[in-house]
A and B are shown apart, each in its own frame.
Chain A
Amino acid sequence: MATDLSSHVLDPQQWGMKAARLSEVALLGLPVPPGLCLNPTDLTSSPDEPARALNTWIELYRPQRVVVRTSAGEDLLHTAHAGRTVSLLNCPADPAALLQAITHELLPLGPEAPVEDGSILVQQQVEAPLYGVAFYGARHLSVEASSAPDGITSGTRPTVRAGATDRHITARWEQDMLPNLALVRRLGSLCSQLSEHFGFEVDVEWAWTGATVVVLQVRPVTRPLAGWAA
Chain B
Amino acid sequence: MSAQGKSEAVATLRRHGLLRVPVHVFDEARRVSAGELEQLFGEATRLVARGASTYEERNLPRLIGATPGEVHAWARRLPAHLSLVIQPYEHVSCSVELAVYTDRTVAELVPGIWELDNRLTPLVLHLYPERSAIDAPESGLQPARFHSPAIGHYEQSTRVDDWQLATVAQWIREHRSALDALCQQHGGPFGMKLQYSSRYGLSPQNLRSTVPALSAWDAPTEAPPLNTIVSTAVDIPPGPLLLDVSVAREEHQHLSEFVERLTRSGTREVYLASGLLSHLAINLREAGLTVRGAHG
Give A residues with C-beta under 8 Å from B. Answer: 164-182, 185
Contacts and interface: CB of A to CB of B under 8 A. Distances in A.
Contact of B296 (A168, A175, A179, A185): A168
If over half of B's interface residues share one DSSP class (helix, strand or loop), that class is named, otherwise mixed; here it is mixed
Interface of B: 123, 125, 130-139, 162, 165-166, 169-170, 173, 295-296
B130 A182 contact: no
Contact of B170 (A166, A168, A178): A178
Given A170-B136, A174-B131, A181-B165, 10 more contacts: A168-B296, A169-B135, A171-B133, A172-B133, A176-B173, A178-B132, A178-B165, A178-B166, A179-B133, A179-B166
A168 B136 contact: yes
B132 A173 contact: yes
The 5 closest A-B pairs by CB, nearest first: A180-B162, A172-B133, A178-B166, A169-B136, A171-B134
B130 A169 contact: no
Nearest to B296: A167
Most-contacted residue by chain A among B130, B133, B166 (CB, 10 A) = B133
Most-contacted residue by chain A among B130, B136, B137, B173 (CB, 10 A) = B136
Contact of A178 (B135, B136, B139, B169): B169
A168 B165 contact: no
24 contacts: A166-B138, A167-B295, A168-B135, A168-B137, A168-B295, A168-B296, A169-B136, A169-B138, A170-B136, A172-B133, A172-B134, A173-B133, A174-B131, A176-B173, A178-B132, A178-B166, A178-B169, A178-B170, A179-B132, A179-B133, A180-B162, A181-B134, A181-B162, A182-B162
B165 A180 contact: yes
B134 A169 contact: yes
B160 to A, nearest CB: 9
B12 to A, nearest CB: 28
Contacts of B134: 169-172, 179, 181
A167 B139 contact: yes
Given A167-B296, A180-B165, A175 B133 contact: no
A49 B136 CA distance: 54
A43 to B, nearest CB: 45
Contacts of A169: 134-136, 138
A166 B166 CA distance: 23
A168 B138 contact: yes
Contacts of B169: 178-179
A216 to B, nearest CB: 23
A171 B173 CA distance: 18
B138 A165 contact: yes
Given A168-B295, A169-B138, A179-B169, A174 B133 contact: no
A176 B138 CA distance: 25
B237 to A, nearest CB: 25
